[in-house]
Amino acid sequence: MKKKISFSAQGRQADVGPMIIHRMLPNTYAQKVGSFVFLDHATPTLQKTRNSGGTGVHPHRGIATLTYIIHGEVEHFDSAGNRKTVHSGGIQWMKAGNGILHDELMNYDSNTDSKLTHGFQFWINLPAKIKAEKPDYLAVEGSEVPQKALPDSSGWIKVILGNYEDLNANIPNYLPQFLYHIHLQPGKTFSIKMENEVEVAALLLSQKVVINDALFQSGEFVEFDRESGTIEISNESNDDIDVLLFGGAPYTEPVVAEGPFVMNTPAEIVDAYRDFYTGKYGKIEAKIGRVQHES
């Protein structure tokens, strides 16, 4: 039996500097999907010049940020001393834990001739005991992301988080959760069975897509019910399509979110702001960004 679709929605525009951002989660209908409490979609953009400034130094606590860059590159700095750039297909993961400052800069990929940028940032809510741990960081280049061909030359699947069949993601996973990038050829179909109580949503990256017999547009966020059942993604167009499918077990602890902090109680939010303003998250020594130049 196919899973029922609870709702679909377009994101609201929330641009950051020159980046065109659509905020997909939270939205009018859902505050979270499993442990995912936030999703920004940096829509496909042809970037004429390289950016020289990042999003601005800011704090996080209680979450892990996961940035997946489909086209372009993302430069990362944080107050734990991590500095890294990943390129098209790569992932930046940062466990904020008990508090960290970071900055990010998105540009076109300096390793290719393409000027296209396209990416996503998820916030993953951590279990309470993990929120108290020290920050951590991991960068994964595109060539290191687990990937396999789908049967019948249908396309491929990448496992960004969690596991699928014999594939296991490099990113730490503190609760049962998953994030897949599914690429389908014209006329092909991908199906996956979801167990009872699993929260799951899809984000359509390009073209029109048929999901469980309903047609959806590019850029739509689609959430399903929690009953066990199958999700069937069909490509009825003449071009390849891409879909992100993500979710996991419900996050059962209390959730209190304010600004860049996601904690379990209001008192913990107060503590997060106090520690930030008293300098307990450290500081970023290096300056993000390269000199802006004409391409």
Give the Cα separation of 179 and 199 in Å (integer): 12
Residue 222: what pLDDT?
97
Residue 20: what pLDDT?
80
For 55, what's the count of Cα atoms within 13 Å in the CB-facing half-sphere?
21
Residue 293: what pLDDT?
32
Nearest to 43 by CA among 227, 186, 219: 219
Neighbours of 243 (CB within 10 A): 23
Domain boundaries, the chain: 5-277
Sheet (strand 63-71) strand order: 12-13, 21-25, 36-46, 116-125, 63-71, 91-95, 136-140
Q: Is 23 exposed, middle or buried (0-12, 13-18, 19+ CB in 10 A)?
A: middle
Residue 286: what pLDDT?
63
Single pTM value for the model: 0.93
Tell me whether the omega of the peptide bond preceding residue 26 falls within 30 degrees of 0, making it cis.
Answer: yes
Interacting residues of 279 by C-beta distance below 8 A, sequence separation 6+: none
Give the Cα separation of 181 and 150 in Å (integer): 12
Residue 241: what pLDDT?
96
Give the Cα separation of 203 and 219 in Å (integer): 7
Residue 290: what pLDDT?
42
Residue keyed to tokens 């008990």:
98
CB 127 within 8 A of CB 34: no
Tens of pLDDT along 100-126? 999 999 999 999 989 999 999 999 999
Nearest to 81 by CA among 245, 286, 263, 237: 286
Low-confidence ranges of the chain (pLDDT < 50): 290-295
Residue 165: what pLDDT?
97
CATH code given to domain 5-277: 2.60.120.10
